[in-house]
Amino acid sequence: MTMLRGLYAAATALAAPVLDVWLARRLARGKEIAGRTGERKGRATQPRPAGKLIWFHGASVGECLSLLPLIENLAAHCNILITSGTVTSAALLAERLPAGVLHQFVPLDRRAWVNRFLDHWRPDGVVWAESELWPNLLGAIAARKIPAALVNGRLSDRAYDGWRKWPGFARETLAAFTLVLAQSEIDRARFAGLGAHDARVSGNIKLAARPLPVDEAALRALRNMIGDRPCWLAASIHPGEDYVAGAVHHELTPHHPGLLTVIVPRHPARGAEMAAVMAKAGLVSARRAAGEQITPAVQVYIADTMGELGLFYRAVPVVFLGKSLAVGGGQNPAEPAALGCALMLGPDMSNFRDIAAELLAMDAAVQIADGAGLAEAADILLQDPARRSALGAHARAMMARHQGAVAETLRHIAPLLQIG
């Protein structure tokens, strides 16, 4: 064990009182579920089913959704447990998991809690998504010699630079994975350089996921409320981007009378806060979570509900994707691209660099530098239906090129999990 690994284990062993306070604060803010905080300490709230069990893990919504096609393919062959770390992901999985698939919250990375979790669930194989690397949990998996695969693996520039500072720690952490399936050759080389035993490229399963679901009745109702008003969508926005959306609305209104701006906060709990931001900007808003309607007087519709992005991507053709302007890294552009949206991306899409680069190269999205650039791009797209259609068609074509990633990933992991 490296010195850093030992220090990390010791620090987390002593951190129980601090973690108890942290969990209590998260519970008070709605970021944990009452009655399930014990899961964060490895205390199961469901029994382990008899027979073979494969454990899948995704950090949050995007990672969990990317795992669903794999889970759907394997659910007929074995029991499946999926863990995640957010309330939002738990709610979405409750709606979309196949019958019989179990969900638990992932235990916090403290050895006693990790071992309690593994003692109960006794997984026969492990499949983790993307880049969440918890040293104690992975160390326990390795110690028990459980076959483990990292799928859809990626390392952002920031994460890669961080791990490179501690090469021994990185190598020891990655040793838990028998197999690493990377999204791209860049990611494969990064994992291999950090010490992954067997790193391969299998494609990006986020690009092979089915389009987000929609309630057709809700879609008809929303389209009726919008009517023929010009409309654009700011999706999955983070703090600071709501101010930008308000400023863009003011900029566009003289050119597009009756303009409706729809904003979907990345975290629905921020709906009331966003309404206050819009009021301060002199804009009339309505909140979906409060049951408020889109009347002619409403300028900004705040879609502060959970799991309805598929609805808004279908109803509003011009889309700015958040976490790429006031906050960096970006959200997953595959979801709106699959539905043929005319996409606008901010300057920092580093969390989805390969997808964003491919979209831009195929003229399936436009990139903007700042709020002024967003207003200019939205103005053009609202005026030019042919340009909107072209961007959307190119996006769908790009997504169609990646439909083999799920089958390729299954081909690689089935022998490891002894399924097939």
**Sheet arrangement for strand 79-84:** 102-105, 79-84, 53-57, 125-129, 148-153, 179-182, 199-201
Q: Which of 134, 169, 165, 164 is nearest to 150 (CA)?
A: 134
* Dihedral over Cα of 152, 70, 64, 140: its sign: negative
> Taking a C-beta distance cutoff of 8 angstroms, is the pair 244, 371 a contact?
yes
Q: Which of 60, 42, 104, 58 is nearest to 79 (CA)?
A: 104
Angle between the N-to-C axes of helices 87-96 and 61-74, in degrees from 0 to 180, rounded to the nearest 10: 30
The set of residues, in sequence order, having a beta carbon less than 8 Å from that of 307 and lying 6+ positions away, is 91, 92, 95
Q: Which of 215, 211, 189, 210 is nearest to 201 (CA)?
A: 189
DSSP-derived secondary structure for 365-419: EEE-SSHHHHHHHHHHHHH-HHHHHHHHHHHHHHHHTTTTHHHHHHHHHHHHHT-
The set of residues, in sequence order, having a beta carbon less than 8 Å from that of 80 and lying 6+ positions away, is 53, 54, 55, 56, 71, 74, 100, 101, 102
> Taking a C-beta distance cutoff of 8 angstroms, is the pair 39, 116 a contact?
no
Which residue in the list 39, 63, 335, 376 is annotated as catalytic?
63
- The DSSP 8-state label assigned to residue 1 in this structure reads -
Between the alpha carbon of residue 373 and those of residues 251, 320, 376, 419, the distances in Å are: 11, 11, 5, 50
Give dist(CA 108, CA 283) in Å, integer. Answer: 42
- The DSSP 8-state label assigned to residue 305 in this structure reads -
H or E segment and range at residue 273? helix 271-280
The one-letter amino acid code at 105 reads F
Q: Which of 208, 184, 136, 194 is nearest to 161 (CA)?
A: 194
* 95 is known as an active-site residue: no
Give dist(CA 202, CA 409) in Å, integer. Answer: 6
Give dist(CA 62, CA 275) in Å, integer. Answer: 26
Q: What are phi and psi of 81, to 5 degrees?
A: -115, 135
The one-letter amino acid code at 418 reads Q
Active site residues: 63
